[in-house]
Amino acid sequence: MDVLRLATLLEELPTERTQLLDNLGRIRREVGPLTPELSDALADRMNVRRGDVHEVVSFYSFLQVPVDAVRVCTGPICDCAGSRGLLAGGAIEVPCLGHCDLAPVVLDGDAVRGGVTHSTNGFLLDPDELREPAALSQDEVLARLEAAGLTGMGGAGFPTWRKWEAVRREAPPRVVIVNADEGEPGTIKDRYVMELRPQLLLEGLVAAMRFCETDEAYIYLREEYATSRAVLEDAIAARGVPVRLVIGAGAYICGEETAMLESMEGRRGMPRLRPPFPAQSGYLGRPTLINNVETLAHVALILRGGWQPARLWSVSGVVAKPGCYEAPLDITLRALVEEHADGFTAEPGAIVPGGAASGILPPAALDTPLTREGLAEWGCSVGSAAVQVFPNGYSPVRLLAETMRFFAEESCQKCTPCRIGNRALHAVFDGERTMTREQVDEWLEAMALTSICGLGQAAPIPVRSAFAHWPELFEKMTA
Ligand SMILES: Cc1cc2nc3c(=O)[nH]c(=O)nc-3n(C[C@H](O)[C@H](O)[C@H](O)COP(=O)(O)O)c2cc1C
Ligand code: SF4
């Protein structure tokens, strides 16, 4: 440890509790991985209880990991592409790194091995101009968002205009936060927006700030996206807007909006009970508008006029051109892959339509429109529109085991059914433990009904859909 560097850095670091994660990130980058001694030194400097800082350090995956560590993605698409074979020599295993178009993905320090590529279409190819949002009244903005029918692209699909209206009902000062945590396995679309159309995102963000009558705005960005960070920093400087980047530290759950608020306030990223919703009481108790990156890019286009309903689909797996494609909301899986990703490269087997909790589809669903209604018939949902196509030879049981491993590792462990249930189900599908179908169903019911956030509530969806579409693979459990 460079003691002199530490002493100088500690002097420079701000002492407000909201700066804790940022300070920890700087110590990791500029001094070294957070040891108990470094954690205590920062706690003393910030006048925070030492135990509180230890709690925060141990909550995040990356704070104790050197910045030049080699990280290997073992998310389902990378697992299917053989990434576990790359784990030799001290490399660290991490869940989805958000570069599924390059699977198997390895991060060497900040650099993606093999470089960053973009395979895309639609508005991401337009020139990234710095334009001011149109001067519209709050009522006009709401009317345009409502008429466009825009719903949140972060996964929950909540009507955007309703959320904006709810924030407007609350008294200022208000806050705007962009959710750029993009941790959902298979999801790469927000990275594409940030790297290819950063000014479009900022145009939507400035429109949101004007609507909320605030100049306090944050972008919560996942740590693994070094290229996005560099591009955003330049774009923010070029526009001259007061937007602060908050860099995460490898906790998927911090993408859940209330966990994100906790993280930004300098605590462990554990979801809050709702109500109150962030629109009523969010960052430091202020009314807070939280929108996903892609949502705000659509907002910018809608407020310019002439927007056609569409979304960005992340497409990965056994397709010729994995990437991020703009396509209609009701496109079918087959059309998405054949017309945009240049077709399948192997006989498709299990297909995940929208991220870990969206469910698992059989190949028989290839001609189903990827709408809420179309997917509901298969017990699935569109989630973050992250379509992952697995080959016929990749067992749905393995996919399910990997999915439950992901939930088990990323559960914040606040709710007992989520903490124990995901772990137990992972062990069952991994073949380490047996359970009857009735026992599995009891766990699923407890998780869905009593978990406080979407992670635990939705974890049963992939299990139930796999049971429904591949009953023969789970027959032995019905004993
Ligand atoms: C476990 C979990 C993880 C989430 N991760 C993300 C994420 O990485 N990015 C995101 O935009 N939304 C994520 N969400 C959804 C957010 O809570 C929230 O709904 C979203 O940011 C709202 O923005 P939108 O209305 O524009 O979609 C996650 C939700 C859950 C339950
Ligand atoms: S459901 Fe899981 S991830 Fe969500 S708050 Fe409870 S324990 Fe944490």
- Give 178-230 pLDDT, tens digit per residue: 999 999 999 999 999 999 999 999 999 999 999 999 999 999 999 999 999 99
User: In which element (H, E) is residue 177 found?
Assistant: strand 175-180
Nearest to 219 by CA among 190, 251, 250, 185: 190
* 3-state class (DSSP) for residue 352: strand
pLDDT tops 90 at residue 476: no
Place of tokens 């008294």: 171
Residue 211, amino acid: F
> Could you tell me the pLDDT band of residue 92, with boundaries at 50, 70 and 90?
very high
- Give 104-126 pLDDT, tens digit per residue: 999 999 999 888 889 999 999 99
So what's the pLDDT on residue 479? 46
- Give 254-311 pLDDT, tens digit per residue: 999 999 999 999 999 999 999 999 999 999 999 999 999 999 999 999 999 989 999 9
Give the Å distance between the CA of 46 and the centre of ligand 1: 30
So what's the pLDDT on residue 447? 97
CA distances from 467 to 209, 456, 477 (A): 45, 18, 10
Instruction: Read off the tokens for 54.
Output: 């230890």
pLDDT tops 60 at residue 478: no
The CB of 451 under 6 Å from ligand 1? The reply is no
The CB of 259 under 6 Å from ligand 2? The reply is no
Give the Å distance between the CA of 208 and the centre of ligand 2: 29
Place of tokens 């049981």: 397
Q: Cβ–Cβ contacts within 10 Å for residue 36, how many?
A: 12
pLDDT averaged over the chain? 96
Return the ligand 1 atom nearest residue 294 CA: 26
> Could you tell me the pLDDT band of residue 89, with boundaries at 50, 70 and 90?
confident
CA-nearest residue for atom 3, ligand 2, is 411
Return the ligand number nearest the Cα of 456.
2
Return the ligand 1 atom nearest residue 181 CA: 8
Nearby residues of 447 by Cβ (< 8 Å), 6 or more positions away: 417, 418, 421, 422, 456, 457, 459, 460
Distance CA(314)–CA(322), nearest Å, equals 8
The CB of 453 under 6 Å from ligand 2? The reply is yes
Give the Å distance between the CA of 6 and the centre of ligand 1: 36
The CB of 253 under 6 Å from ligand 2? The reply is yes
Return the ligand number nearest the Cα of 311.
1
Give the Å distance between the CA of 323 and the centre of ligand 2: 31
The CB of 412 under 6 Å from ligand 2? The reply is yes
Site to substitute for ligand 2 among 260, 263, 415, most atoms within 8 A of C-beta: 415
The CB of 414 under 6 Å from ligand 2? The reply is yes
Give the Å distance between the CA of 390 and the centre of ligand 2: 28
CA-nearest residue for atom 1, ligand 1, is 455
- Give 15-71 pLDDT, tens digit per residue: 999 999 999 999 999 999 999 999 999 999 999 999 999 999 999 999 999 999 999
> Could you tell me the pLDDT band of residue 415, with boundaries at 50, 70 and 90?
very high
Give the Å distance between the CA of 167 and the centre of ligand 1: 17
Return the ligand number nearest the Cα of 151.
1
